[in-house]
Amino acid sequence: MTDRKVRVRFAPSPTGPLHIGGVRTALYNYLFARHHGGQLVLRIEDTDSSRFVPGAEDYIVESFRWLNIAFDEGVGIGGDHGPYRQSERRDIYKTYVRQLLDAGRAYYAFDTPEELARKREETPNFQYDATTRSQMRNSLTLPAEEVKRLIDSSTQYVVRFKIEPNEDVHVNDIIRGDVKINSSILDDKVLYKSADQLPTYHLANIVDDHLMEITHVIRGEEWLPSAPLHVLLYRALGWGDTMPQFAHLPLLLKPDGKGKLSKRDGDRLGFPVFPLEWHDPKSGEVSSGYREQGYFPEAVVNFLALLGWNPGTEQELFTLDELVQQFDLGKCSKAGAKFDYVKGTWFNHEYILMKDNSEIAPEFDRILKANGIDAPMERVEKVVSLMKNRVNFVHELWPLCRFFFVAPETYDEKTVKKRWKEDSAQTMQALRDLLAGLDDFSLENQEAAVMKWIEDNQLHTGNVMNAFRLTLVGEGIGPHMFDISAFLGKEETLRRMNRAIEKLK
RNA sequence: GGCGCUUUCGUCUAGCGGCUAGGACACAUGCCUCUCACGCAUGGAACACGGGUUCGAUUCCCGUAGGCGCUACCA
């Protein structure tokens, strides 16, 4: 069925903020869809009413909006295959549960959670399957009238999938090749719960993917063990010939230690695990997000795209379009990737360098305003151009650039000790007078005049410049000296020099 | 425990029978230089182990070990 138009989906559960691993899964779905000229669907899998978290769905939509990952159909967009919230598809699922029941491929089970728990305790490796279902309370063991009576008296039940044992089920995975599992190790999965009138993930997933005409299921590796069950379900529903192709992505692992990346790791190691900041409605707890930490969405996308995939070339920086063009599921790696968040900051650095200063200036301007600095955008942009190569994030500019806007109040002790010599006050006084006599205070003119003066007077360039820097900056940092003095202008430069000469004797 | 997936520098990875095993991040050193950076250059650093197959295995097969996942009326 390779001639069908490519349609893929990302189907998160609204149980909290979207995990960065989920973002990567969505990104790969997006890249795959675009690469093949197909469509991407956003579906909300809210079949577990007990875990529903208000605000989570909006958070998901907003995250993708920020990341510039656009969906073609789904929640908040619409489309011909809706509704796109599983909780709004109850009647659809009921039809197919009925179909399975009528065909003898599924059965009612009345065992209570307590009974099951007890059973599991008594029997070491208990599994509800072909070998044990005959000992349980279900429509296979109970007389028909009793089953009818139980259902009519609205006793809670579940519908289980009847799995025939001893069959080798093959899953052909795009990333992993042929994966074979014997049906005997599968249990009779619950497909439907009467308590909330909803199917479980497994059934809803298959029904929706079929009805939404999904051609490729690209999801995390945690789903690989249940893929054979899904294959069996497609067949039982008579959809074997249009079953989507599977691709199970490697997981994102903790940067250190063991296990998959979790929210806790972010807190512990100090990096975001979520695209956007999240305020937990219940606990009030706040989790940091990439957006709020100052990452560019392009950098996050670029970074994530390369965690588990690469085109086989040495290119590392990609635009979204380039990713779309080059993306290939067959080039995904198979093993889990430790989440290298330090490299994520490097990507942001690269993007800050690539971006036009005029694009960064407004963001820096907001930070300046928050610190009480109101400067013309032209000057803000100038500072950005002078200083951006030394930061990973825009917000890191402020502590490094403060001196452009605020005269030093104090002079760094260590720098004074190292750079302010016996004769510095005298030299600075002479330099001050020289600068005061300059009509043209441009960088070029200052530099020419000062360098000539240094040479004529046989001064040491380093000594002069370092002391000069101390008077204007207050410490030993910053760009080329004349960039600073030219930016400050004659008046401010002389004022700062006078003050330093006075303060430092 | 069972089942499945997986295994190249500290990390992300290239490699698809024959290479001095390549790149990037991080780290170190040097250069540049008026400081701090950027940048540039250089360096250290890997094929988990054991059997096969083959003229030849990092590459193919089988074991072992490690890692990861699943094993719910959660997704």
pLDDT in tens, A369-425: 999 999 999 999 999 999 999 999 999 999 999 999 999 989 998 888 888 888 889
Residue A503 annotated among the catalytic residues of the structure? no
On whether residue A242 sits in a domain, the answer given is: yes
On whether residue A41 sits in a domain, the answer given is: no
Q: Which nucleotides of B are covered by protein (CB under 7 A)?
A: 1-8, 10-15, 22-26, 34-39, 67-75
Closest among A302, A309, A304 to A331, alpha carbons compared: A309
> For strand B, which residues in window 22-51 of chain A come within 7 Å by CB?
45, 47-48, 51
Nucleotide lying nearest to A313, CA to C1' measure? B14
How does A112-139 read in b/e, with b if 16+ C-beta sit within 10 Å? eeeeeeeeeeeeeeeebbbeebeebbbb
Are A108 and A210 members of one domain? Answer: yes
| Cα-based distances in Å from A276 to A35, A52, A202, A258 | 27, 19, 29, 25
Q: Distance between CA A219 and CA A459 in Å, rounded?
A: 68
Nucleotide lying nearest to A220, CA to C1' measure? B69
Average pLDDT of chain A is 94
Are A139 and A284 members of one domain? Answer: no
Are A214 and A97 members of one domain? Answer: yes
Residue A320 clears pLDDT 90, i.e. is over it: yes
Nucleotide lying nearest to A334, CA to C1' measure? B6
Q: Distance between CA A357 and CA A81 in Å, rounded?
A: 44
Residue A2 clears pLDDT 60, i.e. is over it: no
Largest CA distance in chain A: 113
Domain edge (last residue) among A352, A370, A385: A352
pLDDT, residue A256, reads 84
Q: Distance between CA A212 and CA A200 in Å, rounded?
A: 18
On whether residue A335 sits in a domain, the answer given is: yes
Q: How far is the CA of A314 from the C1' of B10 (A)?
A: 21
End-to-end CA distance of chain A: 85
Q: How far is the CA of A346 from the C1' of B11 (A)?
A: 13
pLDDT, residue A125, reads 86
Q: pLDDT digit string (tens) for A124-175? A: 889 999 999 999 999 999 999 999 999 999 999 999 999 999 999 999 999 9
Q: Domain holding A287: CATH number?
A: 1.10.1160.10
What integer is the mean pLDDT of A261-278? 92
Domain that holds residue A159: 89-249
Are A195 and A314 members of one domain? Answer: no
A446 contact to strand B (CB, 7 A limit): no
Are A233 and A102 members of one domain? Answer: yes
Question: Of A193, A254, A260, A263, which is the active-site residue?
Answer: A263
Domain edge (last residue) among A366, A394, A422: A394
Nucleotide lying nearest to A190, CA to C1' measure? B73
Nucleotide lying nearest to A226, CA to C1' measure? B70
pLDDT, residue A333, reads 94
Q: How far is the CA of A184 from the C1' of B66 (A)?
A: 28
What integer is the mean pLDDT of A429-454? 93
On whether residue A403 sits in a domain, the answer given is: no
A250 contact to strand B (CB, 7 A limit): yes
Which residues, 6 or more positions from A345, have their beta carbon under 8 angstroms from its beta carbon? Answer: A392, A393
Which residues, 6 or more positions from A342, have their beta carbon under 8 angstroms from its beta carbon? Answer: none
Domain edge (last residue) among A224, A249, A274: A249
Are A113 and A201 members of one domain? Answer: yes
A443 contact to strand B (CB, 7 A limit): no
Residue A350 clears pLDDT 90, i.e. is over it: yes
Are A277 and A333 members of one domain? Answer: yes
A225 contact to strand B (CB, 7 A limit): yes
Q: How far is the CA of A181 from the C1' of B53 (A)?
A: 28
Q: Distance between CA A208 and CA A8 in Å, rounded?
A: 12
Are A110 and A205 members of one domain? Answer: yes
Q: pLDDT digit string (tens) for A323-342? A: 999 999 999 999 999 999 99
| ipTM of the complex, rounded to two decimals | 0.95
Does residue A288 contact residue A395 with C-beta atoms inside 8 Å? no
Q: pLDDT digit string (tens) for A55-101? A: 999 999 999 999 999 999 999 899 999 899 999 999 999 999 999 99
Q: How far is the CA of A43 from the C1' of B4 (A)?
A: 27
On whether residue A31 sits in a domain, the answer given is: no
Q: Distance between CA A244 and CA A216 in Å, rounded?
A: 5
Q: How far is the CA of A11 from the C1' of B36 (A)?
A: 48
Residue A239 clears pLDDT 90, i.e. is over it: yes
Tally of domains in chain A:
4
pLDDT, residue A225, reads 94
Q: Distance between CA A246 and CA A347 in Å, rounded?
A: 31
Are A108 and A229 members of one domain? Answer: yes
Residue A258 clears pLDDT 80, i.e. is over it: no
What is the pTM (predicted TM-score) of this model? Answer: 0.95
pLDDT, residue A1, reads 46
Q: pLDDT digit string (tens) for A186-210? A: 999 999 999 889 999 999 999 999 9
A315 contact to strand B (CB, 7 A limit): no
Q: Distance between CA A228 and CA A205 in Å, rounded?
A: 14
Q: Domain holding A163: CATH number?
A: 3.90.800.10
